[in-house]
Amino acid sequence: MGMQDFNLLEVERLWKVYHKTEKALDLSDPVAIEKAEAAGAVIAVRDVSFKVKRGEVFVIMGLSGSGKSTLIRCLTRLIEPSTGVIRVKGKEVTSMDAEELTAFRRGEAAMVFQHYGLLPHRNVLENVAFGLKLRGLARELRESRAQEALRQVGLAGWEKKYPHQLSGGMQQRVGIARALVQDTDLLLMDEPFSGLDPLIRREMQDELIKLQKEWQKTIIFVTHDLGEALRLGDRMAVMGAGVFVQVGRPQEIVMNPADEYVQRFVQDEQRIAQLLDKGRVSRVRSIEAHASARAGR
Amino acid sequence: MFPSDIEFHVAPYISDFVKWITVAWEPFFTAFSNMVLGMLLQIEHILVAIPWWLWIIAVTVIAWRQTHEVVKTIMPGLLLFTVGIFGFWGIAMETLGIVIVSVIISLLLGIPLGIAMAVSDRCNTLVTPILDAMQTMPSFVYLIPALMLFGLGKVPGVVATVIYALPPVVRLTNLGIRQVSSSVQEAALAFGATSWQLMKEVRIPLAMPSILAGINQTTMMALAMVVIASMIGAGGLGEVVLICTNRIDVGGGFEAGWAIVVLAIVIDRLTQGLVRRWDTPGV
């Protein structure tokens, strides 16, 4: 098995049910599930399986309420899955005890959040070094590493500022630096750019593409924005009502949407592509542009 | 009318219980009493040893550092000066001593209790009604048993003051910790914070403005209670008020009352300044 084929993340038959019967529910029994749903159970993630190769950017796209945020939180058990198996580098996350799980979160997976989740009473440098502090690293060591991470995201010189003194885009750079400094192979990004205005969002996407060329991390990227999914994703999954409706390369999904739900997502992109074919639009966001951006990585 | 034949009284049982505990636990209460009294005397000793002008200078300097405004800087020192003018300096220090000891005990009990209530919903539901009772029960009701258990003097005054002043710091510690943004907590957990680290690094620091507001409230309540506690011989400014009231000495009562108000204003300003200094930027 070569490095390229190595599955860094494997998810098998993952479920997340929100109901008081969650623990007792037999999820292999469709009748029991139907009954529970009738009794008010909410199934946020429904039998989801996927594999992500090392160095791959896997985008999970869906509307709000589709279960994508729940799914990404299940991967580090910030939300405890009902059933299913999650393996990272072959280690079974779902069977870890509390201590192993803490070690896993400290060393194997780093996360970037939509609402940044920065500590308001700590300055930028301390925020970036926070994960290293939790691991018990000495101050000089963690601060020099945090400094390096800040340099990479273009925030050198901002170490002593507090989060509220920064714009949204810059706060998210701090969030990315905080994840980066953890030096994990797996990077989980939950709508990291959704709260930013379109121009800044675009800039952050470009920067992520650039940085990813260096890092070669395995990224799980959650978004509700198809454009973002097309720009960033090596592969993407369209999620609706807790299930993966379609999984594939972004171009394939735009060309051959599996059903009406996916069709609704991609119709704008298709229209732009058609216009481009007819030569009526010279320079717009398009599948081709995405493709060339991706080829340029 | 409520039928009188199903009336039932717990009063004799409670009276008997207090009588019994007074006798049976006498060594314990005496030891506790001596400990608190020792602490009290030591603090009083220090407070009195500091010359009056140094107090005024210190208060003025702190006020300047907190406000940087001329009027707000001069006022606390000037007010303290009037306490001395009325001849209450020593007595005011006595009152301050009881307040300080009561607040220290309240914080030692209250902050951990507030944290426990924030962590455990069960603890929260259990303790909340007790706090309600502590705040609404007329203080005279527990002044008498405190008197029986700890004897006449300052110690029962401290105990009664703690009972009265404890709830705000407990409630505001609990509230402050519970109100810490869940997205910040989630991020800390995602980076591998243990529940202890989450408390120490995230929840308590972010709850600090609320906890300090609780400390401020507790201090003010303690001062209010110390006056009532003078009825069981706690001494201090409250005693002067009590004596003047009994003699229908309106002017003397006003002077002593004024001194209490001054103490309250000065303590309030100083502890509120503390709250503002701790206030997290941008939260």
Cα–Cα distance for residue pair B257/B240, rounded to 1 Å: 9
Task: Give the mean pLDDT of B125-133.
Answer: 95
Average the pLDDT over B134-148 and give the result. 88
Q: Which residues contact A42 (CB under 8 A, 6 or more apart)?
A: A17, A18, A19
Task: Indicate whether A9 pLDDT > 80.
Answer: yes
Count of domains forming chain B: 1
Optimal mutation site among A77, A134, A184, A194, interface B, most CBs of chain B within 10 A: A134
Q: What is the mean pLDDT of residues A190-219?
A: 92
Q: pLDDT digits over A230-270, tens only?
A: 999 999 999 999 999 999 999 899 888 888 888 888 887 77
CA distance A293 to A274: 19
Range of the domain at B251: 26-278
A165 to chain B: nearest residue by CA?
Answer: B282
Q: Which of B191, B210, B277 to mutate to test the interface with A (most CBs of A within 10 A)?
A: B191
Q: How confident is the model at residue B277 (pLDDT cuts 50, 70, 90)?
A: low
A16: which 2 tokens? 């997340």
Chain A: give the shortest CA distance to residue B206, in Å. Answer: 7
Q: Do the chains contact at A119 and B184, CB–CB below 8 Å? A: yes
**CB < 8 Å to A165, chain B:** 281-282
Listed residue (B94, B90, B82, B91) closest to B56, CA to CA: B82
Task: For residue A38, give Cα distances in angstroms to A24, A31, A82, B10, B32.
Answer: 16, 11, 18, 52, 61
- Separation between Cα atoms, residue A241 and residue A161, nearest integer Å: 41
Q: Is A90 on the interface with B (CB under 8 A)?
A: no
| CA-wise closest residue to A172 among A188, A197, A156, A196 | A196
CATH no. for A54-77+95-108+184-295 = 3.40.50.300
Q: Is there a domain that residue B10 lies in?
A: no
pLDDT category, A296, cuts 50, 70, 90?
A: low
Q: Which residue of A has its CA nearest to B197?
A: A134
In angstroms, the separation between the Cα of residue B177 and the nearest Cα of chain A is: 14
More confident residue, B270 or B213: B213
Give mean pLDDT, residues B57-81. Answer: 90
| Chain A stretch 149-168, residues whose beta carbon is closer than 8 A to a beta carbon of chain B | 162-165
As a whole number, mean pLDDT of residues B28-53 equals 92
Inter-chain residue contact B191 with A111, CB threshold 8 Å: yes
* CA dist., res. B185 & res. A62, Å (int): 25
Report the DSSP pairing between strands A83-88 and A42-53.
Answer: unpaired
pLDDT surpasses 80 at A285: no
Mean pLDDT of the region A182-192? 95
Residue B7 lies in a domain: no
Q: Give the per-residue pLDDT at A282.
A: 47
pLDDT at residue A5, as a whole number: 62
Closest-approach residue (CA) in chain B for A110: B191
DSSP B148-205: HHH-SSHHHHHHHHHHHHHHHHHHHHHHHHHTS-HHHHHHHHHTT--HHHIIIIIIHH
Minimal-distance CA residue of chain A relative to B185: A117
pLDDT level of residue A287 (50, 70, 90 thresholds): low
**Smallest Cβ distance to A120: which of B190, B194, B283?**
B283
Q: Could A134 and B206 be called an inter-chain contact, meaning their C-beta atoms sit closer than 8 Å?
A: no
Strand A243-248 and strand A83-88: the pairing is unpaired
- The strand pairing partners of A51, in sequence order, are A10
The Cα of A260 is separated from the nearest Cα of chain B by a number of Å equal to 34
Q: Band of the pLDDT at B279, cuts 50, 70, 90?
A: low
- The two tokens of residue B163 are 């009972």
Place of tokens 């906890």: B211
Q: Assign residue B111 the CATH number of its domain.
A: 1.10.3720.10
Contact at 8 Å (CB) between B210 and B179? yes
| Mean pLDDT within B160-189 | 95
The CA distances from residue A141 to A96, A145, A162, A183, in Å, are 29, 6, 21, 14
Interface of B with A in 191-210 (CB under 8 A): 191-194, 197, 201-202, 205-206, 208
Confidence band of A293 (pLDDT split at 50, 70, 90): low
Residue B244's nearest CA partner among B86, B96, B94 is B86
State residue B44's pLDDT score.
92
Instruction: Output the pLDDT for position A98.
Output: 94
Q: Which residues of A touch B183 (CB under 8 A)?
A: 113, 115-117
Q: Give the closest-approach CA distance of B194 to chain A in angstroms.
A: 7
Threshold 0.90, pTM exceeds: no
Q: What is the ipTM of this complex?
A: 0.86
Nearest in space to B187 (alpha carbons), one of A186, A221, A111 = A111
Rounded distance between C-alpha atoms, residue A294 and residue A287, angstroms: 10
Confidence of residue A284 (pLDDT cuts 50, 70, 90): very low
% of residues, chain B, pLDDT over 90? 72
Nearest residue on chain B to A101, judged by CA atoms? B192
Q: Binning pLDDT at 50, 70 and 90, where does residue B66 land?
A: confident
* Cα Dmax for chain A: 61
Distance from CA of A155 to the nearest CA of B (A): 20
Structure tokens given for A46: 């429904």
- pLDDT (tens digit per residue) in A22-50: 888 888 888 888 888 888 889 999 999 99
Q: Which carries the bigger pLDDT value, residue B109 or residue A264?
A: B109
